[in-house]
Amino acid sequence: MARKPKGNKIDGWVNLNKPVGMTSTQALAAVKRALKPQKAGHAGTLDPLASGILPIALGEATKTVPYVQDSIKTYNFTVTWGEQRSTDDAEGHAIATSDKRPARADIEKILPAFTGDIEQIPPQFSAIKVDGNRAYDLARDGEEVELKPRHVYIETLEIVSHSDAETAFRCVCGKGTYVRSLARDMGLKLGCFGYISRLERASVGPFTLENAISLDIFQNPEHNLTPEQVLLPLQTALDDIPVLALREQEAARLKNGNVLSFLSKPDLERMTQAGIEWGNKNIVTALTTYDKKAIAIVEIEGPELHPIRIFNV
């Protein structure tokens, strides 16, 4: 007999605004203590120095974490000029200094070199694995490792404000981008060095600061939280893929792992109305629902729907 999972059956997302000074794991633990879900995980680590959006998946929503991790992200950050630091942020010690300070016009000239598809070397203090060890563990032991450049995508990088000592930026970027590396590399290109002194993640895909929830709400028992007060639907993470509504019998078959075949004209018209180009040779990913509840993520190849993530909600 299968053992009943511990915790509450809760499925959905918490759009958490993580404060400075706390790890992502600590923030996740606070949410788990308050709601006691059966399963929980976060979609993308934020450093203790950073604040902002930390999407937390509960229950069946954990199956959609990879889709959030692949989302476009927005960062607001400040670079302080004149120093390069061991961690590329304010937590490290100075390893190089300069009396030079860049003018705004000088910074604007180099921004195109850091926009689009670029190569970036991760910081020494990062979670990249080197021979089975985390780079930050090796760095803390005083070992300098050679990290390979990675291809990342930066959609936009713009100056928000500028003074002699520091410059505030806004960056929209893809998966795997290290903002600390961006600050380090801009400082090196300008010949003045630089490090991150403030970092805020303003959005992760559909999760934004506008509807984010303060961690204080989870830490204060007086709030008497219920999941309905703080949860976003499981399908929030899948807002950029088509949604196909199913009939009851179709939903039951799909939840059992069966492949559905949409062969009749009305069925094909349903796919067209959902924005699914079923006639092309490409495989299309879509979310299927019944009675507004998520049933499964499917891959559609021709007229066939193959379940790849089935939700037990």
Q: Which tens digits make up the pLDDT trace of 72-128? A: 999 999 999 999 998 899 988 999 999 999 999 999 999 999 999 999 988 765 555
Identify whether 4 is part of a domain.
no
Side chain identity at residue 143, one-letter code: E
Q: In this predicted structure, what is the pLDDT of residue 142?
A: 56
Give the CATH number of the domain where residue 152 resides.
3.30.2350.10
Rg (CA), the chain: 23
Residue finishing a domain among 196, 217, 237:
237
Given the residues 47, 88, 89, 185, select the one marked as catalytic.
47
pLDDT value at 129 more than 90:
no
Q: Is residue 94 part of a domain?
A: yes
Q: Are residues 56 and 178 in the same domain?
A: no
Q: For position 266, what pLDDT does the model report?
A: 86
Cα dist. 95→86, 121, 184 in Å?
6, 17, 12
Mind listing the pLDDT tens digit for each residue in 226-278? 888 899 999 999 988 999 999 999 999 999 999 999 888 888 888 888 888 76
Given a cut of 50, whether residue 57 has pLDDT beyond it is yes
Q: What is the mean pLDDT of residues 202-213?
A: 96
Q: What is the DSSP string of 251-312?
A: HHHHHTTPPEE--SHHHHHHHHHTT--TTSSS-EEEEEEETTEEEEEEEEETTEEEEEEE--
Q: Do 178 and 281 fall into the same domain?
A: no
128 and 228 share one domain: no
- Stretch 137-164: mean pLDDT, rounded? 80
Are both 185 and 220 inside the same structural domain? Answer: no
Count of domains in the chain?
3
The tokens 């899948």 sit on which residue?
Answer: 238
Same domain, 138 and 98: yes
Work out the widest C-alpha separation in the chain, in whole angstroms: 73
Among candidate residues 300, 293, 303, the one with its CA nearest the CA of residue 252? 293
CA distance 49 to 200: 9
**Is residue 81 assigned to a domain?**
yes
> What's the order of all strands across the beta sheet hosting 243-245?
243-245, 284-290, 293-301, 304-310, 260-261
| Integer CA distances (angstroms), 79 to 121, 165, 170, 183, in order | 18, 9, 11, 6
6 within domain boundaries: no
Range of the domain at 123: 73-204
- pLDDT at position 2, please? 56
What pLDDT, on the 0 to 100 scale, is given for residue 205?
95
Instruction: Provide the 8-state DSSP code for 64.
Output: G
d(CA 213, CA 226): 14
Tell me what pLDDT residue 138 has.
Answer: 47
User: For residues 49 and 103, what is the distance between their CA atoms, to the nearest angstrom?
Assistant: 27
Which among 131, 162, 164, 160 has a CA at the least distance from the CA of 145?
Answer: 131
Is 28 part of a structural domain of the chain? yes
Rounded to two decimals, the pTM is: 0.90
Active site residue 47: yes
> CB under 8 Å to 298, separation ≥6 — which residues?
244, 254, 260, 285, 286, 287, 288, 305, 306, 307, 308
pLDDT of residue 268: 83
Stretch (H or E) spanning 230: helix 227-230
